[in-house]
Amino acid sequence: MRSPYERKLVKTHVIRKGEDIAEVVARYSEGLALPGDVIAVSESVVAISQGRAIPEDGIRVGLLARVLWRFVTQVPYGVGLRSRATMQCAINECGAFRILVAALVSAFTKLFGRKGYFYRIAGAQAALIDAAHTSPVEPYASCVILGPRDPDSVAEEIKKRTGVDAAIMDINDIGGSWVIGKTSGFDPAVLEEIMRDNPMGQGNELTPICVVKDLAAPGGF
């Protein structure tokens, strides 16, 4: 369904490690994003700018990851932690004890038909890990991309540079849309609904920024 809000996609260069993502967003959105709008930014490019794209062949996989990845449910919309490399990254991010507890609790609750406990216990950083070959954009096609650090602070810095409210978002092509970092001038649930059809795309579009017009304006929703 087409969004009733006007959405302006912003094409960028390939973002690299060490770039100031707030400066990049400010530069590309200059003259387009105005007070009352919201700038939505893909969580992947934020993570990449923070150096959180890890070449898969450089990840040392331990015994726990070699065991646990096999028990992750295979789903049609992505790999998630169902690979040795992504499971190892989850262990590195969240700690071996927490991941092991999450796996044991998840296995137990599944016996009673209750799902979703693994990520509740493991935490958001485990859920945000994207497997290698999820993105076709080089040089990141062969990288595991971790979730961004401190997305709320990133959104605040974007607002400081642009004067416009901002959100860091995790969106997929099957209707998943989550605000994981934000400023305070808008309703995140409204933005998630607006972005649910993933207008930024999940291929090589190079449009990791979307300006949603008038979302935060008084009376705008």
Inform me whether the pLDDT recorded for 68 exceeds 90: yes
63 and 121 belong to one structural domain:
yes
Rounded Cα gap, residues 102 and 213, in angstroms: 40
Q: Cβ distance 194 to 69 under 8 Å?
A: no
- Torsion sign over Cα 187, 207, 49, 138: positive
Percentage with pLDDT > 90 across the chain: 72
| Domain final position from 128, 145, 162 | 145
pLDDT, residue 172, reads: 86
| Domain final position from 98, 118, 145 | 145
Distances (CA, A) of 185 to 92, 126, 156, 189: 34, 28, 11, 12
Helix axes 96-110, 84-94, angle to 10 degrees: 120
Say which CATH number the domain at 28 has: 3.30.1330.100
185-207 confidence digits (pLDDT tens): 999 999 999 999 999 988 888 99
39 and 92 belong to one structural domain:
no
Closest residue by Cα to residue 199 from 58, 34, 42: 42
Range of the domain at 88: 53-145
Flag whether 217 is in a domain. Answer: no
Flag whether 138 is in a domain. Answer: yes
Flag whether 161 is in a domain. Answer: yes
Inform me whether the pLDDT recorded for 219 exceeds 50: no
Rounded Cα gap, residues 151 and 168, in angstroms: 6
92 and 173 belong to one structural domain:
no
125 and 187 belong to one structural domain:
no
173-186 confidence digits (pLDDT tens): 788 899 999 999 99
Rounded Cα gap, residues 7 and 40, in angstroms: 10
pLDDT, residue 114, reads: 86
Provide the 3-class DSSP secondary structure of residue 158. helix
Instruction: Write down the pTM of the prediction.
Output: 0.91
Residue 208 has a CB neighbour count (10 Å cut-off) of 27
Flag whether 116 is in a domain. Answer: yes
What are phi and psi for residue 101, nearest 5 degrees? -60, -45
